[in-house]
Structure 1
Amino acid sequence: MTGKQNVLRILLREHGRTYAAEAGIRLRNTPQPLYRTLVLASLLSARIRASVAVATARALYDVGLRDPRRTADATWQQRVDALGKGGYRRYDERTATQLGDGARLLLDDFGGDLRTVRECADGDVDELRALLRRTPGLGPAGADIFLREVQDVWPEYAPFLDAKALQGAERLGLPDEPAALVRGAGDASPARLAAALVRAALDQRVADDCLARARRRTAD
């Protein structure tokens, strides 16, 4: 096994968990988990720690804000309180408004079902990005996060390794070609691969640890 294969396998073993899974979302091509993943992507795209965004996504679920209808019907203060429970306090008031507006947009334009957004995009990634970005508070980074997370259940967009994932690959000395990275990942899904690479991009310690472990394994 080459040094690069060692690095990638160690990375996947230690950090190859999707953010959706970390937030307790059992991602399937059904309305509720897709909506929860969209909300998670919005939370993750802010300048806040990923751990706080994940905890907040869990808190929203725990208080019942788990689909667009319930989110839209909740009061602004209920949304603020739920965000606060997850630790999402810096942006809680603005995000509470955006969650309500986004839920209503999804209900009005797509019947509350992101699968309709998928059908409208018809496999065109740029069109899908544009449709997703109609969601208040979801910019280019948030759209990419959503695509990274859902690519296992929307396989027409896989492998989706955006600039942030490829930044992680560069930090680890891995190829910058998605196809080569997918081959090196073996049985790991593209979504797991993307999440692992993003963690390396976001945290230098993740990359350093994987590289050090790979060097020790190669030396043995």
Structure 2
Amino acid sequence: MSGPTAADRRTAAALLRTHGQTYAEEAGIRLRDTPQPLYRLLVLSCLLSARIRASVAVAAARSLAAAGLKDPRRMAAAAWQQRVDALGEGGYRRYDERTATQLGEGAELLLASYRGDVRRMREKARGDTGHLREVLREVPGLGPAGVNIFLREVQGVWPEVHPCIDDKALQGARRLGLPEDPRILAGLVERRETPHFAAALVRAALDRAVVDDVVDDVRRAQER
């Protein structure tokens, strides 16, 4: 299998410049290997699991944080209607009632089984990403797509997950004419940039306008 070309590297750099923001960053989460930001990422991943626009899920995550529901103890203690209202404030109305229930149940699960600390889910997996996927699926409302989202974003702080370039990101790579091998793709950017690159690849899969932006950026860079 041939390695990446200079054109691949130019495309990857342009993609990072134009759309290299993680969903966590968009939701105002400064991701670190500490309980609160990891929990907020978990909640965001649950919200993004539904068939709803990513921008709405991000706005709902911001709204939950603004309501003070940033950790499982506060989420579990909140009234169901408070969770519904916070989701509604973010525009997350189609799935608000079911999701409010799932967020409460998920918070209670974390408190009962992991003492409210998402890092204990990582410890339970013992470095096995396949097992970690199974552990994460315990969370109500976190389906396979949500697990992929969580792992794509968390690979920057949980090194054993790297490289996480899932099928949706590979669809974006295909649209951009990039290699469709996760390890080759990850090698196009610095390791610390992989979460940003993976998120940008997903945006390319979801929106052809992203591909146009990248093509235009590459052309402008070559004209300089």
TM-score greater than 0.5 by the shorter chain: yes
2:211 to 197, 204, 207: 207
1:181 to 179, 185, 209: 185
Aligned counterpart, 1:56: 60
Q: CA–CA distance in 1 between the matches of 2:207 and 2:141?
A: 24
Q: CA–CA distance in 2 between the matches of 1:141 and 1:17?
A: 19
Aligned counterpart, 1:133: 137
The two structures, once aligned, show a CA RMSD in angstroms of: 1.5
Structure 1 residues 32 and 188, CA gap change in structure 2 (3 angstroms): closer
Structure 1 residues 187 and 113, CA gap change in structure 2 (3 angstroms): closer
Gaps of 5+ in 2: none
Aligned counterpart, 1:83: 87
TM-score (norm 1): 0.95
Structure 1 residues 116 and 187, CA gap change in structure 2 (3 angstroms): closer
Cα displacement (A) at 1:6: 1.7
Gaps of 5+ in 1: none
1:68 and 2:72 equivalent?
Answer: yes
CA contact (8 A) 1:123 1:156 kept: yes
CA contact (8 A) 2:12 2:189 kept: yes
2:50 to 43, 46, 67: 46
Aligned counterpart, 1:34: 38
CA contact (8 A) 1:3 1:214 kept: no
Query: Secondary structure of 2:163's partner?
Result: coil
Q: CA–CA distance in 2 between the matches of 1:188 and 1:38?
A: 20
Q: CA–CA distance in 2 between the matches of 1:63 and 1:30?
A: 20
Q: CA–CA distance in 2 between the matches of 1:3 and 1:218?
A: 11
1:14 to 8, 18, 30: 18
- Worse-superposed segment, 186-195 or 65-74: 186-195
Q: CA–CA distance in 1 between the matches of 2:222 and 2:184?
A: 21
| 1:121-155 Cα distance to aligned partner (Å, 9 max, x none) | 01111111111011111111101100001111001
Q: Percent identity?
A: 63
TM-score (norm 2): 0.94
Q: Which runs of 4+ in 1 moved over 3 A?
A: 215-220
CA contact (8 A) 1:133 1:140 kept: yes
Cα displacement (A) at 1:212: 3.6
CA contact (8 A) 2:156 2:192 kept: no
Q: CA–CA distance in 2 between the matches of 1:44 and 1:151?
A: 18
Query: Secondary structure of 1:189's partner?
Result: helix
Aligned length: 220
Cα displacement (A) at 1:215: 4.3
